Structure 1
C-alpha cells in the first residue's frame, strides 16, 4: 500500500522539483546519502530528497532513493536545507553546507502514526501493479476468488487466460512455465491444471507475470513465466487470519494463515481443508464421412461429470536471521487429496439419413488419490548494503498419484451380453524432483552490476498404466492401452549477465547455457527415446526514460518448451472410447525467439502500458485429430495427439490500463490481439475397415484472435465493496477447424465487520453459465464435428474471514520485508 501511495505523491513532487531546478554552468558537486526506517533499519525505497534555499525555502533540486535507500543529487556549492519525505513517515530537515562531492551518511525516518491512519482510511493498494518488466497481481484485495482455487486466481490476471480444461495461456500462448514461490514444485509430470485446481486461492499472496524473462530465469516456457507467491506474514508478533467458505455446488473449506515474527526469526504456516464439487458437462456431435465426402452415420456424444475433491494442504516454514547479513529459510509443504469423478456418457447413433439407430450408455467411476511432499531450504548472504549478495536455494519433492476407474459400456435396451463391455484402469504415478540453484550479484557501482549463477533440475517420473477387460468373469490385460512409461530429465544451467545505466538510458545483456539429458522410455513396447542437447539462450534489454513517469523498453530472449506430462503419456484415459487423447513420447522441444517492445506512462490516477511482441518458434507443438481404428460396433475412433510442426509465428500487441477515477472506484483492463501463423505438414497412418491407410494434411494456417478483460471495483454506501470482472475470448481458426468465441462474467460483494477485524463476502463465478470451450473440427473425407465442454458450472460462494492481531491493511504487501525476506524475484533464477 505504501509503495502505491508513494508513486502518486512522487509524481507531483518530482514534477515540482525538476520544474524549479537551477541551471548553473559552473562546477557542480555530487552529494550522496542513504535513507532508512528508524525502527527496523531497513532502507526506504522511493523516499524523496528535496534541496531548499535557506533564504526563501524555494526548491533548488532533488531526487529519490533507489531500492537500497541510496540517493544522489547534483548541485552548485552552497548551503541548503535537505528535506526528506516519505508517505506515512515524519519529514526530516537538515541544513548542510556543500563545498564539493560529499556523502551525508544515513538519515533515519520515523513513522507518522497520524498520517499512517489517514492513509489506511483513504487509500488501498491497487489489485494490479503494472511494471515495465512484469505485472504483479495482489490476490489479498480480490473478492472474486474467495473460496476458489489458484486456477480461478490466474483466470483473473491480465494477459492470462484459463480455458475450460484448465490449460493456462499467457497472451494466448500455452507454452508458459508456472512456478510456485519461484520453484517448479512437482509440476513437471503432474497435470498442471489439476494442481492449480487443488490449491486454495486464499493461500496466494500475489502472482507475477514475466512475459520476456532475462538470462537469470529458467529458459523453460516459450510464452513466458507465471510465478505464484504464497502468503507469508510480515507483522511483528503472533498474527494471522482464518477463512471459512461454503457454496453451491458444494464448495466448503477452512483456511488459516498463521505467523509469528520476532527480531531473530519468523515462523509462518498455511493450513487448508476443502471439499469441492465441480460438476461439468460436454458433448460432441459428429458426422462421419467417406472418402467422397458422403455421410455414413451420425454419433452424438453427451457427458455429465461430478468431480468431487477432498483435499488438505499444509505449509510450514521458518526464516532464521542468523546474523545481520545472513538468513536461512526452511519450509515444508504437504498436500493430499482424494476424489471421485463419476462420468455418465450417452451415445446416440443415427444412420446416414438421420434415422435413429440405437443408444449406448458408458459409465466411468474414477477414484484418485494424490500425495505430495516438498521441502525447500534457502540461504541469503548479504556482503554489504549495496546489493552484493549470494543466494543458494535447494528443494526436493516427492509426489504419488493413484488413479483407478471402473468402466461399463452397454447398449440401452439390449439383452445380448456380447454387446456390453466392462473395463477397469489402474494408473500409478511416482515423481521425484530435486532443484539446486545459486545466484551471485556483484554491483560495480550504483548504476551497474554483474550477476551469475547455476541451476540444476533433476526429475524422474514413473507412470504405470494398466487397462483390463472383463472376459468370462476374469480381468485380462488389454495390450492396446496398457503401458509403463519412465521419464527422466536432467538439466544443468549456467548464466551470466551485466546491466548498467547512463543517464536516462539503461541496458542489460546476458547469456544462459543449458545442458539437457532426457530419457522417455516406454518399457512395455521396448521403445527408448533419448534426447541429448545443449543450447545457448541469449537475452538483451534496452530501456530509455523519457521522464520519471514515462519509459520505453526493447527486449529479446531465447526460450525452450520441453514436452512433459500428458504431452508424452501415450494414453490419457478412457472416459470416451471414440474420442481419445494420446500423448506422443517422441516429441521434441520447441525453441522460441521472443521480441518485445513496451511503453509505459503514469499519471496521478492512471497507469497505461502497451507492448508489441513477436515469437518465432521452431518445432512448435500442434494438436492433430486422426482416425485410428474402430470400436467393435464399427464406430471410428478419433485420436487427438500433439506433434512437432515446422514453425510458428506469433505476433500481437496488448494494452493494460489501471484507472482510479475516484477514491471509491478502481478499474483495470487488458486487451490482447494476436496473429498466429503455422507452417508445416504431417503424414500419418491409420487403420480403417481393417486396412492400413496413409493420409497427408497441410497444416499451413493463419489465425487471428483476441481477448479482453475488464475489472471494476466500487465502494458502495456503508463501505460495501462491489467487484465485477468480465472477459471475452475471440474465435480462433486452425488447420483442422475453429474454436468459437466465449464471453463470461464474475461478480462479488464484501463488507468489513466486527470493527474491521472480519470480512464477509459472496461471489458468483460464471454468472451467465457461459464459460464453455466450443470447438469445430473438419477432416476432409473423415468427419465433421462440433463440441462444447464446460469444466465447472456456475458457482456461488460465501466466505467469512477473521483477522487477529493485524489490521485489514496488514494483509496487503508492505514496504520490503526483513533481512531474510528476499524479494519475489530472488526466488526465481539460476
Structure 2
C-alpha cells in the first residue's frame, strides 16, 4: 500500500493540486490552486527563500516526498509549492516579500499549517525541523473532509475504506464488497460492476490463483477485518491489463511500516461461521518480515430450490417440476510469509509466498417429476455430494528503483500454481426410494502461470508524465475429466455418451503500453495511452486441436479532468477485451443437475467493449456528491444459447456463442453526508437501461432474440463513534430485477447492523453484528422464456446471522516513515460464469477443466 500512497501523493502535488479550490477548503484543509513551474503559474519572482526539513514526530526520521504549498495570507491564493526530497528537505526559491501561510501534507499524517510567516526582500528563512504526527485522516484527491470518510472519490477510482467498517468484524470480503458503491454482489458471492460481471479482481495490486479458480470462493477466504480498502477503477488507463470489460476491483489488505515486533489476534464466532486469524510482523532497520494465517469455517448454510420448466421437442411437450434441499459447509485457510529489504535509500526488494487452501463440501437432495404427453408421470430422486478442494501457491519477487520523485523503474515477477479437485457423486432413486444407479464425475486440474513485467515512468518537465512498459504471461492448464456410472452395487465404469477426456490449454500473452499525462495552462489534466496485447493459444483435447488460434488487439484509453468552481468534471473512454473462460470453452458436459446441462464451445473468440464515462463531483458544505453517467457497447459478445435436449427428456442444454450484442446506458449516484465529526451517512443508487441481443435454436433453426429493460439497485449506510470507545454502524442494500437475454432474474435485499467497544487503550475490541435478522429467508425468482421452452426457478437462501468478534493487538511498535516498496505484478484472467475473471473451473458442479 505504501507505493500507492506515495504515488498518489506525488500525483497530488504535480497534477491534481492545480485544480483544487481556494484555501481554506472543505474540512478546514487547504487546497492550493497552482504550483509554480506548472502551466498556469503566473506568480511574480523575487529574491527571498524559505527552507526546512520534515520529520516524523515519533521516530524523528525524515519523511520523503511531503507536499508543501505556499499561500498569500491576505488573499488565500496558492502561489508556490514543492515536494520534500528523500531526506525530507525542501526549498521555495525566488519569492517576493510578503506575509504567507504554508500547508504541509502527506498521506498518513496530520496536515500542518504554519501561519504568520513574514518574508522580507532577499531573506533566507530557515524553518528548521518541522514534525508531522500520524493520524487517521486521508488526503482525498478530490475533496478532504474533516473526518476520514468511509467512501472517497478519487481522480481515477472510488475507494471504500473497509478498515472503518466496524460491522464487518468476523465476516469475509463478500460482506465488504456488498457495501461498495457501483458494485453488486448476489447472495452467492458473484460480483458485478454497473451490471457487468466481466471484471478484474486483484489482491494487493496483483492476481491470485485463488481468485482465478472462483471469485466467490476466494472472497470467502479473505477475512473482512484484514481488508484496508477496496478500490473500484471504472476507466482503467493503458497501464492496466486490457482484460475485464467492466473495470477493476483491487482489494488492499492491511499492512504497516512499523519498527519492532507485533502480533494481532482476530477471532469471531457466529451461527453460520467462525474464524481465527493471527498476523505478526517484525521490522528492524532496512529489513521487514511478515507472517500470518487465518482459518474460517462455514456451516448452517441452507438452500432450498424450486424449478418448473416446459420444453418442446418435435412437437412433444415435457413438463419438469423439481424441488431441492441443500446445505454446504467449508473450511478455508490462507497463510503468508513476506519479506522486504531496502537495498539502498532509492532501491527496494519485496518477496512473498502465500498458500491458500479450500475445502468445500455441499449436499443437495433433488426430487424431479416429469410429465410427458400421453404418458404417466415419472418421479425420480437424486442425492448429490460435491467436493471442491484446492491448494494454491503464489510466489512473487519484485524490485523497484526510484531515481527521483516520479521517475522510477520496476521489475515484477509472479509464479502461481493451483491444484484443484472438483468432483461429485450422485445416487439416483425411484419414486419408492429404491436406489436404481449411481453416477460419479471426477475432475482433477492443474493451473500454472508465470508473469514477468517491467515498467518505467519519468516526468517530462513539471506538468507532464510519461509511462511505458511490457509484460509477458505464460499459462498452462491441464484438466482430466471423466464421467462414470454404476449399478446399485458393483464398481464404476465409464459412461459411453459422456467419454473421459483431457484438456491441455496453453495461453501466452505478450503486451506493451505507453501512457502520457499532461496538465494544460487552463488546468485541464489529460491522460491518454495505447496498449497492445497479442494472445497465443494452443489447445487440444483427446479428439484433437481446438480453439481459435492467435489474435491481437489494440486498446486505447483517454481520461480528462477539470475543476470548475468547486465541481470536478471527469471524462473517460477506454476499450477492453474479454477472453472466454475455460468453463465456456470446455466441451465437457456439466450435468450435476441433469435438468440443466452446460457445455462449452472451444471456438469462442474474445469480445471487445467500448466504455464511455462522464463524472461530476462536488462538495456542498458537509455533503460530497458524485454523479457518473456511463455507456457500454459490446459487440461479438459471448452469450448463452439455450435449447431443449434431444436425448434427455425435460432437460435444457446451455452453450455459448459469439452472437450477442450488449448495450447499457445509465448512471451511478452517490452522496456522503458528514452530519458531525463523529456521525456520517450516505446513500447510493445505480440505474441503467440495457439491451441484449442474441440467438437461440428453435426447431433446428437459429432465431435472433432481443430483451431490454431497466436494472436498478441502491443502498444506504451510516456510522457513528461515541465516547468511551463505543461505535455503531448500519447498512442496507436492495438489488432490483436483472434483465437477461431470455428472461429476468429476481432481486434481493441485504442489511446489517453492528456495535463495538474498544478497550485497553484501543489494543482490543469486542463487537456484535447481526444481518438479515428480520427475514427468515430471501427468494431469488428467475424466469426464462422461449418459443420451445420456459423455466421458472426459485432459490431460497437462509442467511439470517449473528456474530460475536474479539480483536487484540500484542507488541510495542514505533512509527517509521512510509517507505516505497517494489511494485508487483497486475495480472488478469478471463471471462467466466457468475462474474469471476478466471482461467479455470466452474465454482460448482465439478465439470469445467482447470
Q: Is TM more than 0.5 here? A: yes
Aligned: 1:526 with 2:540: no
CA contact (8 A) 2:745 2:783 kept: yes
Q: Is the 8 A contact 2:484 2:492 kept in 1?
A: yes
Residues 1:253 and 2:275 are matched in the alignment: yes
Offset of residue 248 of structure 1: 0.8
Q: Given the alignment, which residue of 713, 720, 737 partners 2:719? A: 713
Matched residues in 2 for 1:293 and 1:762: separation?
Answer: 59
Secondary structure in structure 2 of the residue aligned to 1:213: coil
Task: Tell which deviates more after alignment, 327-336 or 402-411.
Answer: 402-411
User: What is the CA-CA distance between 1:79 and the residue it aligns to?
Assistant: 4.3
Q: CA deviation at 1:331?
A: 0.5
Q: Given the alignment of the two structures, is residue 775 of structure 1 paired with residue 782 of structure 2, yes or no?
A: yes
Kindly indicate whether residue 577 of structure 2 is the aligned counterpart of residue 563 of structure 1. no
Residue pair 1:265, 1:319 contacting (<8 A) in 2 also: yes
1:434 to 450, 453, 470: 450
Is 1:262 matched up with 2:263? no
Using the TM superposition, give the Cα deviation of residue 480 of structure 1 relative to its aligned residue in structure 2, in angstroms.
Answer: 3.3
2:592 counterpart SS class:
coil
* CA drift at 1:210: 0.3
The 5 A counterparts of 1:675-824 are 675-683=689-697, 694-715=700-721, 719-767=725-773, 768-782=775-789, 784-790=790-796, 793-805=799-811, 817-820=818-821
- Structure 1 counterpart of 2:837: none
Greater shift, 83-92 or 731-740, is seen at 83-92
The alpha carbon displacement at 1:432 in A equals 0.2
Q: Does 1:470 align with 2:486?
A: yes
CA drift of 1:537 comes to 0.8
Counterpart for residue 226 of structure 1: 249
2:97 to 78, 81, 84: 78
CA contact (8 A) 1:376 1:393 kept: yes
User: Is 1:303 aligned to residue 317 of structure 2?
Assistant: no
Aligned to 1:644: 658
- In 2 relative to 1, CA 270–396 (structure 1 residues): closer, same or farther, beyond 3 Å? same
Q: For the Cα contact (< 8 Å) 1:282–1:302, is it kept in 2?
A: yes
* More displaced 10-residue stretch of structure 1: 429-438 or 773-782: 773-782
**Greater RCO, 1 or 2 (C-alpha within 8 Å, sep 6+):** 2
State which drifts further: 329-338 or 717-726. Answer: 717-726
Q: Distance in 2 between matches of 1:646 and 1:278?
A: 40
Equivalent residues in 2 for 1:87-486, closer than 5 Å: 88=110, 91-92=113-114, 95-97=118-120, 108-111=129-132, 125-186=148-209, 190-249=213-272, 251-277=273-299, 279-290=301-312, 296-349=317-370, 357=377, 359-384=379-404, 386-413=405-432, 420-471=436-487, 473-481=490-498, 482-486=500-504
In the other structure, the counterpart of 1:688 is none
8 Å contact kept, 1:232–1:268: no
- Could you tell me how far apart the structure 2 residues matched to 1:368 and 1:572 are? 18
What CA distance in whole angstroms lies between the structure 2 residues aligned with 1:647 and 1:67? 52
TM-score (normalizing by structure 2) = 0.84
Report the 3-state secondary structure (helix = DSSP H, G, I; strand = E; otherwise coil) of the residue aligned with 1:152.
helix
Q: Choose 502-511 or 422-431, whichever is displaced more.
A: 502-511
**SS at the partner of 1:197?**
helix
Q: Equivalents in 2 of 1:33, 1:591: separation in Å? A: 53
Shift of residue 12, structure 1, vs aligned partner: 6.1
Q: Which residue of 2 aligns with 1:583?
A: 600
* Residue of structure 2 in register with 1:687 after alignment: none
The offset of 1:148, in angstroms, is 2.2
- Structure 1 position 473, deviation (Å): 2.1
Mark the CA change 1:557 to 1:155 in structure 2 (over 3 Å): closer, same or farther: same
| Partner SS, residue 584 of structure 1 | coil
Taking the aligned partners of 2:136 and 2:690, their CA distance within structure 1 comes to 50
Q: Is the 8 A contact 1:89 1:109 kept in 2?
A: no
Matched-pair contact (CA < 8 Å) for 1:369–1:401: yes
1:377–1:792 distance in 2 versus 1, CA, 3 Å: farther
Residue number among 524, 527, 532 corresponding to 1:513 in the alignment:
532
Distance 1:111 1:356, change over 3 A: farther
SS of 1:557's equivalent in the other structure is strand
So what's the TM-score if we normalise by structure 1?
0.86
- Taking the TM superposition and a 5 Å limit, the aligned residue runs for 1:30-45 are 36-38=54-56, 39-43=60-64, 45=66
Q: 1:279 to 1:640 in 2, by over 3 A?
A: farther
Task: Name the counterpart of 1:596.
Answer: 613
Cα distance, 1:323 vs structure 2: 0.7
Distance in 2 of aligned mates of 1:149 and 1:112: 32
Q: Which secondary structure state, in structure 2, belongs to the residue aligned with residue 445 of structure 1? A: coil
Would you say the 8 A contact 1:308–1:340 is kept in 2? yes
Which residue number in structure 1 is paired with residue 12 of structure 2? none
Kindly indicate whether the alpha-carbon contact (under 8 Å) linking 1:258 and 1:270 is maintained by their aligned counterparts in 2: yes
Distance 1:459 1:107 in 2: 55
Instruction: Count the aligned residue pairs.
Output: 788
What runs of 5+ residues in structure 1 fail to find an aligned partner? Answer: 685-692
Q: CA shift at 1:501, angstroms?
A: 0.8
* 8 A contact 2:303–2:325 mirrored in 1: yes
